[in-house]
Structure 1
């Protein structure tokens, strides 16, 4: 029993013992259209910022914030999806090794590509990746008033946990903390 605890403790507290997160580039079909999904790289950051600007009017995440995220290969995985070599969406995730949770830090799909199953595909890909890592859950926050996103997450198995008051910096809107159990 002690050896099992020791292995768990070393793997969750020592970043040098954690695996480097990796994702193999793949060509996928979504709603009859072909896309490429791959890991995000530093040269992609400007595209991620631009997608957020198209969605929100301004980018909630700065270039520097994305750069810091991409420099953490043991607990961050960012994927981009391309149409004809142009990034049209992304998902960011953070592994919480202590709680065995994959947290969706952000997700964005260019508005002209929304409602085509791309966001769903990225979330399901992240869910499969979390299972591959033997994680127990996935989590995320979503604006209380973003009913369509909340409905999507609920359809993908996420359940409301609690409200985080005044969570968002731009307008102090509350967030719903949601979690999906991966052990079922």
Structure 2
């Protein structure tokens, strides 16, 4: 009896969820308008590697989040993670990296970076809300956002979107700084205020 139930579950519930995740990860590139400017929104690929590293370094300076090796690993793995990138006039100006945990039914935003000259134009808000909607399409329960304890701008952004602070992780980054994990529970519909697009 138990084996029959497991087989039914695998064929129906599990396979349906995998189909939803697969469809959400099959992202179609397109033009988008944010704050009156046009950007090309695309799924990142290995050819974007130098630009991803450049944006990360420009956004975080000496507190750069990742090295080239970490980006390569993320770009190679297509089954549980992906990058969304924004280009303006063919220049990569921002990106977001997510990891899907099927076991925990969550989407983890691991990295978000916007070129300094393009910050406060709503690009970070756009990328995070796009991921929230993708996570809903995947029928996940939570979105987790990890950032430096000192990164007040990102913390303010996700708080405005309904994320709540969770546990801190001491010495999370290479320089010893702690990280804060914010969580958004997707069973509670959040209404996003338009005025946040100025962030």
TM exceeding 0.5:
yes
1:11-50 aligned at under 5 Å gives the runs 19=22, 21-50=25-54
Larger relative contact order (Cα-Cα within 8 Å, sequence gap ≥ 6): 2
Structure 2: gaps of 5 or more residues: 189-199
Name which one, 1 or 2, has greater alpha-carbon Rg: 2
The residue aligned with 2:154 is 149
The yes-or-no answer on 1:131 pairing with 2:131 is no
Deviation at residue 151 of structure 1 after TM alignment: 0.9
Would you say the 8 A contact 1:22–1:77 is kept in 2? no
Quick check: 1:158 aligned with 2:169?
no
Deviations 1:37-82 (A, max 9, x none): 0000101010010011112224432222111111111101101101
Q: How many residues align?
A: 178
Correspondence 1:83-94 to 2 at 5 A = 83-94=88-99
Please report the TM-score for the alignment, with normalisation by the length of structure 1. Answer: 0.89
- In the superposition, the TM-score normalised over structure 2's length comes to 0.82
- Residues 1:175 and 2:179 are matched in the alignment: yes
Separation in 2, partners of 1:131, 1:114: 26
Q: CA RMSD in A?
A: 2.0
In terms of mean alpha carbon deviation, does 18-27 or 94-103 score higher? 18-27
Relative to structure 1, the CA distance from residue 140 to residue 30 in structure 2 (aligned partners, 3 Å threshold; closer, same or farther) is same
Structure in which a larger fraction of residues adopt helix: 2
In structure 2, the residue corresponding to 1:126 is in which secondary structure?
A: helix
Note if contact 2:65-2:173 (Cα within 8 Å) is conserved in structure 1. no
